[in-house]
């Protein structure tokens, strides 16, 4: 039985040794945020579930080769990033109007409508970005990763991430400016 307080790297090494309970612990710890990243990228609940499942299957498959050279979450971000980009190349994803999480658990009708409109505008703007720009925006602004964290996750240099973020912001700014000016 794995230690519930073991770090992810130790759990992953246990998975590599055949400990399926350690794998279950990893899945329980990370499935929610993996799904959220996939959903923000794809904006389709079922596709996000598929990407999430595939990410954990790839993680399980790679467990015997896993070496904790970087943080485990960085390793998992790399898997998600590749799956999302592969998906974007294969198929134009479907998009929904809003991200299924509310800032206020009990918002009033006006707040719900405003939140939905803002989410729709942001999603529309994100959809217009190339997949790599979209992913760096998601990792930076929705997941709160640092430039180095994003660089590690997408296997680019920090300078390349800065350039991607700058280009993505420049494309987003004119699309979102009209909606957020007072």
Give the per-residue pLDDT at 3. Answer: 59
Helix (H, G, I), strand (E, B) or coil at 156: coil
Least Cα distance to 29 among 62, 76, 92 occurs for: 76
Within 13 Å and on the Cβ side, how many CA atoms surround 162?
4
Give the per-residue pLDDT at 108. Answer: 66
Give the per-residue pLDDT at 44. Answer: 87
Q: In angstroms, rounded to a whole number, what is the distance separating the alpha carbons of residues 161 and 46?
A: 29
Please classify residue 1 by burial: count the beta carbons closer than 10 Å to its beta carbon, then call 0-12 exposed, 13-18 middle and 19+ buried: exposed
Flag whether pLDDT at 102 surpasses 50: no
Average pLDDT over residues 98-122: 62
Check: CB of residue 63 under 8 Å from CB of residue 45: no
Highest mean pLDDT among 28-42, 59-73, 116-130: 28-42
Average pLDDT over residues 9-34: 92
Average pLDDT over residues 29-36: 94
Q: Assign domain 8-180 to its CATH architecture.
A: Up-down Bundle (1.20)
Within 13 Å and on the Cβ side, how many CA atoms surround 141?
14
Q: What is the CA 121 to chain-centroid distance, rounded? A: 19
């Amino acid at each position: 039985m794995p230690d519930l307080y073991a770090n992810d790297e130790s759990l992953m090494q246990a998975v590599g040794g055949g400990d399926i309970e350690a794998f279950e612990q990893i899945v329980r710890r990370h499935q929610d945020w993996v799904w959220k990243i996939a959903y923000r990228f794809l904006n389709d609940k079922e596709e996000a579930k598929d990407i999430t499942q595939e990410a954990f299957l790839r993680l399980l498959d790679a467990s015997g080769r896993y070496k904790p050279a970087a943080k485990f979450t960085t390793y998992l971000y790399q898997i998600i990033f590749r799956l999302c980009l592969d998906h974007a190349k294969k198929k134009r994803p479907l998009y929904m109007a809003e991200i299924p999480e509310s800032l206020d658990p009990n918002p009033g009708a006006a707040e719900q409508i405003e939140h939905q409109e803002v989410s729709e505008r942001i999603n529309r703007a994100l959809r217009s970005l190339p997949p790599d720009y979209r992913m760096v925006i998601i990792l930076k602004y929705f997941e709160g990763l640092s430039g180095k964290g994003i660089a590690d996750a997408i296997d680019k240099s920090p300078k390349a991430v800065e350039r991607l973020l700058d280009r993505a912001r420049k494309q987003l700014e004119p699309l979102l400016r009209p909606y957020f000016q007072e």
